[in-house]
Amino acid sequence: MHNISRNFLLAMTLAIAACGPRSDEPGTSESAMPDPLKKPFAALSAAPPVAEKRPVEIEQHGIKRVDNYGWMRDENWQEVLRDPGKLDAEIRQHLEAENTYYEKASGNLERLREQLFDEMRGRIKEADSTVPAADGDFAYAVRFRDGGEYPIFVRTPRNGGDETILFDGDLEGEGEDFFRIAAVDHSPNHELITYGVDRLGSEYYDIRIRAIETGEEFAETIPSTDGSAVWAADSKSFYYVERDDNQRPKRVKHHIVGTDPTDDLLVYEEPDDSFFLYINKSQSDEYIMIGVRKGTSSEYRYLTADAEPGTEPVRIAPRLEDELYSVEHAGDYFYILTNAGDSVDFKIVRAPVSDPGRDNWEEWLPHEAGTYISGFVTFKDRIVRLERENALPRIVVSDYMQENVYELDFEEAAYNLGLSTGYEFDTSNLRFSYESPSTPEQTFDFDMESRERVLRKTQEVPSGHDPELYVVERIFITADDGAEVPVTVLRLKSTPVDGTAPLLLYGYGSYGATMQAWFSTNILSLVDRGVVYATAHIRGGAAKGRQWYLDGKFDKKKNSFSDFANAAEALQERGYGRKGETVIYGGSAGGLLVGATLNLRPDLFGGAIAAVPFVDVINTISDAELPLTPPEWVEWGDPINDPAAYETIAAYSPYDNIRSDTEYPPVLATGGLTDYRVTYWEPSKWIARMRDEATGGPFFLKMNMDAGHAGSAARFERLKERTHDYAFALKIFGLTEQTPVSHGKAAATHGT
């Protein structure tokens, strides 16, 4: 989930009193706010589908469990990823019945969803464009046209001239049920492009080649790739990653333009299914880097960009368990980010290109506990790193001698920073982005010599946005074991903190992924209705460094769930919401978070949204055939071979720990039929079992029959999908008739 300058500021007007009192009017909030509905779906007349139970007993490590709904996993699931029409008819019938039930149950929310869609679309500048990135004689950009669903990849001469369309996503995707563009990569001589397209949502991308000036399409199609290409220096060939039938990136191949892909040379094949394989080109353009990685180990090989076909890649250092490293290049050295030597929050070493093995690694930037180095970019004369300390990011610029080192300053309580590598290596220009939950994204060019900062673009919100209407807060709550968990809060200044405003709490908490304090035009549709939107930066993510991640995995995974529950309870106690009326929201592994936290403390919540949720954990992580299972044993544990890991996972797996002794709030789960990351049967089984074993609810499943993990790739269709989540939350809050704070133009155009 994923952009331009706001050249006007519309005056703010307040909506009707039901939107909530102003914060400077104490004593009025209790009567002004509508009470959330205790039983928001009490009048529901549609009957849910009843999934047939077909019990299968499973035994692991002498422990038995029964799965009544395992039949929902199509035995031909690999074929379904490539051809959804091959889905078993009985399973399809059940999924369609779930969708029909959801549509009937939520039909009275259709007007609200249309209103939300109008609001969200009204905040998007439709004819948008990225800031062009210079490369040689040209500048490359991505733009959208008014009403267009897909990106258009373009270039213009660097010194001025007519635009050339390299790839028109709207034209190419016309008539497709699903269409996603992985990448459009131009050759070093600027004459050819490769493009990778997925038409099913299964993330098998076909790569094709096209001449830029003539538009000529080359004959060959390279199937089953990750969608991106890394060009060789001569522009006559490129490297790509091929995926196997289990959707695992397994092989790097070398394709010569104009030849049959079946003749492509194998450059490297990864034998270990637990490692992900990827390729990229060094920022200097001198090397092709081949990397393999899992959560606890990595390894790199390299080729020169002008290597002859058939050249064997050179390994930098052999993989070691519990040691990670990644590589960039500048001058005579490879610069290596690593956690070697107990450097939990990482350090940077360098090694001579001529002999880069571990014996020659010399420390360039020492490890500093609590300062997490999340990445870096090399330029000819400088190295720029992105660090995070106590959940706040910073950018640090340094020369290679470390004689001239400085940070860039920012002032808000919570914000997000991003580095753009661009195409150029010999430059003093650094492009970075800045945003916060209330501040639209700004793109800057920064001269690393003069330290001059130039604003190139501010994300424009056509329907109007005034950051001064909002409050962004960074608060810390104390977890059960004393850990201080950061929480980012966004609310209107007029939204009271007295327990009367509804609270939506979002979280993820896995893989060391950090939920940044970014700006989202979509969530304003909630916040402008008086909803407090909070993001809990729980353990399992890396908001406070890698140790924060390590403290939320394996046998410490339950910290993620208790942190989330603690955050909800603490926010409620501080007046940011009310017990039993908070909605929690998370997707993928964040769906696991939602499911497990629901089982832990269902009393805290009034509703839950679990998007493509990873909830059938013990079954999935015990199935070595599934695409992501072997790589994720280092994240969750290996329940096949380790009894302790089995017991840990089985104790929190949401599907296996549904409680019958307490009432659950309403739940909306979503899925995608061609999702290989979280397979469609996980939310399907979970909802079926919730209906059978839990009280409360109701429990809904909305299955996208034409997409995978991320849903639709069309930008407006994505908005429509999001309206279902938000309308569900607003139904829980009793705010389906709530008028959002008006920003002038949106109210005049959309009647909101």
Cα distance between residue 537 and residue 534, in whole Å: 10
372, HSE (Cβ side, Cα atoms, 13 Å): 20
* Mean pLDDT along residues 484-490: 97
- The answer to whether residue 231 sits within a structural domain is no
Cα distance between residue 626 and residue 631, in whole Å: 10
Mean pLDDT of the residues in the chain: 91
The answer to whether 162 touches 156, Cβ cutoff 8 Å, is yes
What's the CATH code of the domain at 688? 3.40.50.1820
Active-site residue among 709, 712, 724, 743? 709
pLDDT for 391-406, tens place per residue?
Answer: 899 999 999 999 999 9
Number of folded domains in the chain? 2
Per-residue pLDDT at 33 = 41
* Mean pLDDT along residues 532-557: 96
pLDDT for 108-165, tens place per residue?
Answer: 999 999 999 999 999 999 999 999 999 999 999 999 999 999 999 999 999 889 999 9
The answer to whether 109 touches 714, Cβ cutoff 8 Å, is no
Active-site residue among 118, 226, 675, 725? 675
Q: How many CB atoms lie within 10 A of CB 366?
A: 9
Cβ contacts of 703 within 8 Å, gap of 6 or more? 95, 98, 99, 670, 671, 672, 673, 680, 683, 684
The 3-state DSSP composition of the chain as helix, strand, coil percent (nearest 5) reads: 25, 30, 45
Of residues 82 and 477, the one with the higher pLDDT is 477
* Mean pLDDT along residues 625-632: 91
Indicate if the pLDDT at residue 587 is higher than 80: yes
Smallest CA-to-CA distance from 506 within 484, 494, 522, 529 is with: 522
Tell me: do 624 and 508 sit in the same domain: yes
Per-residue pLDDT at 37 = 47
Indicate if the pLDDT at residue 253 is higher than 80: yes
- Look at the chain and count its residues: 752
> Is residue 709 annotated as a catalytic residue, yes or no?
yes
Q: Which two tokens stand for residue 549?
A: 């991640």
Lowest mean pLDDT among 96-100, 201-205, 653-657: 201-205
Q: Which two tokens stand for residue 82?
A: 């490539």
Contacts 24+ apart (CB under 8 A), 407-415: 408/432, 408/446, 408/453, 410/434, 412/436, 412/439, 412/472, 413/472, 413/473, 413/474, 414/472, 414/473, 414/474, 414/488, 414/517, 415/439, 415/517
Tell me: do 455 and 516 sit in the same domain: no
Lowest mean pLDDT among 3-7, 115-119, 569-573: 3-7
> Is residue 743 annotated as a catalytic residue, yes or no?
no
Rg (CA), the chain: 26
List beta partners, residue 443: 433, 457
Tell me: do 590 and 685 sit in the same domain: yes
How far apart, in Å, do the first and last CA atoms of the chain sit?
25
Residue 227 φ/ψ region, left for φ over 0, alpha for ψ in the -120 to 50 degree band, beta for the rest: left
Q: Which two tokens stand for residue 170?
A: 């709207």
* Mean pLDDT along residues 357-361: 97
Q: Show which of 460, 485, 516 is a domain's final residue.
A: 460
Tell me: do 416 and 526 sit in the same domain: no
Cα distance between residue 714 and residue 693, in whole Å: 37
Tell me: do 506 and 442 sit in the same domain: no
Indicate if the pLDDT at residue 679 is higher than 50: yes
Tell me: do 524 and 416 sit in the same domain: no
- The answer to whether residue 748 sits within a structural domain is no
pLDDT for 255-311, tens place per residue?
Answer: 999 999 999 999 999 999 999 999 999 999 999 999 999 999 999 999 999 999 999
Identify the residue whose tokens are 């008819």: 89
Smallest CA-to-CA distance from 309 within 232, 235, 379, 383 is with: 232
Dihedral (CA of 449, 451, 452, 458) sign: positive
**Per-residue confidence band for 331, with pLDDT thresholds at 50, 70 and 90:** very high
Tell me: do 699 and 623 sit in the same domain: yes
What dihedral do alpha carbons 329, 333, 338, 342 form, nearest 10°?
-170
Tell me: do 430 and 510 sit in the same domain: no
pLDDT for 34-86, tens place per residue?
Answer: 444 457 887 777 899 999 999 999 999 999 999 999 999 999 999 998 899 99
Per-residue pLDDT at 742 = 63
Tell me: do 652 and 601 sit in the same domain: yes
Residue span of the structural domain in which 404 resides: 373-460
* Mean pLDDT along residues 537-565: 97
- The answer to whether residue 602 sits within a structural domain is yes
Q: Show which of 400, 433, 460 is a domain's final residue.
A: 460
Indicate if the pLDDT at residue 710 is higher than 90: no
Indicate if the pLDDT at residue 413 is higher than 90: no
Cα distance between residue 462 and residue 2, in whole Å: 19
Identify the residue whose tokens are 């959707």: 247
- The answer to whether residue 431 sits within a structural domain is yes
The answer to whether 350 touches 336, Cβ cutoff 8 Å, is yes
Residue 285 φ/ψ region, left for φ over 0, alpha for ψ in the -120 to 50 degree band, beta for the rest: left
Indicate if the pLDDT at residue 498 is higher than 80: yes
> Is residue 228 annotated as a catalytic residue, yes or no?
no
Looking at residue 52, what DSSP letter applies? P
- The answer to whether residue 692 sits within a structural domain is yes
Active-site residue among 237, 398, 562, 588? 588
Tell me: do 543 and 468 sit in the same domain: yes
Decide: residue 312, CB within 10 A, 0-12 exposed, 13-18 middle, 19+ buried: exposed
Indicate if the pLDDT at residue 381 is higher than 60: yes
* Mean pLDDT along residues 579-594: 96
Angle (CA) 440 441 447, round 5°: 135
What one-letter code names the amino acid at 103?
A: E
Angle (CA) 660 644 661, round 5°: 10
- The answer to whether residue 703 sits within a structural domain is yes
What whole-number percentage of the chain has pLDDT above 90? 87
The answer to whether 392 touches 414, Cβ cutoff 8 Å, is yes
Tell me: do 712 and 729 sit in the same domain: yes
**Per-residue confidence band for 11, with pLDDT thresholds at 50, 70 and 90:** very low
pLDDT for 422-470, tens place per residue?
Answer: 999 999 999 999 999 999 999 999 999 999 999 999 999 999 999 999 9
Tell me: do 482 and 619 sit in the same domain: yes
Per-residue pLDDT at 743 = 55
- The answer to whether residue 292 sits within a structural domain is no
Indicate if the pLDDT at residue 4 is higher than 50: no
Q: Which two tokens stand for residue 747?
A: 């109210």
Q: Show which of 429, 460, 491 is a domain's final residue.
A: 460
Indicate if the pLDDT at residue 13 is higher than 60: no
- The answer to whether residue 249 sits within a structural domain is no
